[in-house]
């Protein structure tokens, strides 16, 4: 791998995480008028349509095993992860959901070591960085004397982090199939939407066109669909292909930093000294995790 490719991989992961940090705030705004499953369905349907417009050609043939892996990627990375995350936002703060997602890089590293044949090197600095970030998570969740660990929203957020970790190792495995990143992402979105359909009926999905006439709703959905789902997933999947699941995963630590700042400014969610300390420790954890050791 050339140095320029390595830098590209890090930049793709960085900008994906940066943009994803804003999505929880955008989703929280949409939850005033939409159900979680409605937001999820519309944003990924928009992204899927964008992919077919950009690249309408048929994806290359895959074996039965490869198809199963791609289907599982669609279920874990689209259906389960975002459904769990969106529902969690109904029960807890956007900042809490984002902070708990910091567990995803650690879980990804563990799953990578356990389940992938081509092991990625995990330095001791990665684990030190994770511990530092976890301390930050505790600062946020306890927020002084307030304990939020019993919240169903926090539990759902943790399940979402596990789902994302599984998705990441599946995408790394799919990268060995030599299928163009756009076509892989398009396939995972398609299967993700297909397996989302049962939840539409379960959660009383409604297609109310009048909601799209509201400029705030429309802009937030366009952002979530075309940028946060379409473009960011392409960048993230390409990043995993270039630098691997572990190195790309640590950039997820940036998400709560962006979310906490925007949650305070836009959603007027409270910021305490504990929250600030949590953000600082989160950034420090990212820096430590990126330090190379022999």
Tell me what pLDDT residue 149 has.
Answer: 53
User: In 10 A of CB 110, how many CB atoms?
Assistant: 14
Question: What is Dmax (Cα atoms) for the chain?
Answer: 59
The predicted pLDDT at position 49 comes to 94
For residue 221, give both structure tokens.
């959905």
pLDDT of residue 281: 85
**pLDDT tens-digit profile of 159-206?**
999 999 999 899 988 988 888 889 999 999 999 999 999 888 887 788
List the end-to-end C-alpha distance of the chain, in Å, as a whole number. 19
Runs of H (alpha helix) within 223-253? 232-249
pTM exceeds 0.85: no
User: What is the full per-residue pLDDT of the chain (294 aa) written as tens digits?
Assistant: 566 778 898 899 999 988 988 887 888 889 888 888 888 899 999 999 999 999 888 878 888 999 999 999 999 999 999 888 878 877 877 667 767 777 788 888 888 877 776 656 677 787 888 788 778 767 766 665 555 555 788 888 889 999 999 998 999 889 888 888 899 999 999 999 999 998 888 877 888 888 889 999 999 999 999 999 999 999 999 998 888 888 888 888 777 778 777 777 777 767 778 778 877 887 788 778 767 654
What does the DSSP assignment read for 46-100?
HHHHHHHHH--SPPPP--HHHHHHHHHHHIIIIIIHHHHHHHHTTTS-HHHHHHH
Q: At what angle do helices 232-249 and 103-115 cross, to 10 degrees?
A: 80
Query: How far apart (Å, rounded) are the C-alpha atoms in residues 158 and 23?
Result: 17
Give the pLDDT score at 73: 95
The pLDDT, as a whole number, for residue 246 is 82
pLDDT reported for residue 255:
79
Structure tokens at 293: 């050791």
Q: What is the pLDDT of residue 208?
A: 81
**Cβ proximity of 239 and 248 under 8 Å:** yes
pLDDT at residue 144, rounded to an integer: 58
Give alpha helix (H) positions in the chain. Answer: 3-30, 36-54, 64-74, 81-88, 94-100, 103-115, 124-142, 152-174, 181-194, 197-202, 215-222, 232-249, 254-266, 273-289
């Amino acid at each position: 791998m050339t140095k320029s490719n390595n830098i590209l991989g890090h930049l793709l992961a960085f900008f994906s995480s940066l943009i994803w940090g804003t999505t929880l705030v955008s989703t929280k705004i949409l939850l005033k008028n939409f159900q979680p499953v409605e937001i999820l369905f519309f944003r990924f349907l928009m992204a899927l349509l964008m992919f077919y417009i950009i690249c309408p050609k048929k994806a290359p043939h895959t074996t039965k095993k490869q198809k199963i892996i791609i289907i599982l990627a669609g279920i874990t990375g689209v259906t389960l992860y975002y459904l769990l995350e969106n529902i969690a936002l109904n029960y807890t703060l956007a900042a809490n959901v984002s902070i708990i997602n910091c567990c995803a890089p650690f879980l990804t590293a563990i799953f990578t070591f356990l389940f992938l044949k081509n092991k990625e090197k995990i330095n001791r600095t990665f684990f030190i960085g994770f511990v530092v970030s976890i301390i930050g998570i505790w600062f946020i969740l306890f927020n002084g004397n307030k304990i939020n660990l019993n919240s169903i929203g926090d539990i759902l957020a943790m399940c979402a982090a596990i789902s994302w970790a599984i998705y990441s190792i599946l995408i790394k495995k799919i990268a060995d199939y030599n299928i163009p990143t756009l076509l892989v992402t398009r396939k995972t979105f398609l299967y993700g939407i297909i397996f989302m359909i049962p939840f539409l009926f379960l959660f009383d999905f409604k297609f109310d066109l009048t909601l799209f006439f509201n400029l705030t709703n429309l802009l937030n959905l366009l952002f979530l669909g075309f940028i946060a789902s379409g473009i960011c997933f392409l960048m993230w999947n390409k990043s995993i292909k270039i630098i691997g699941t572990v190195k790309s995963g640590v950039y997820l630590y940036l998400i709560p930093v962006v979310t906490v700042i925007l949650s305070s400014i836009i959603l007027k969610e409270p910021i305490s000294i504990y929250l600030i300390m949590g953000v600082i420790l989160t950034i420090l954890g990212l820096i430590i995790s990126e330090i190379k050791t022999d």
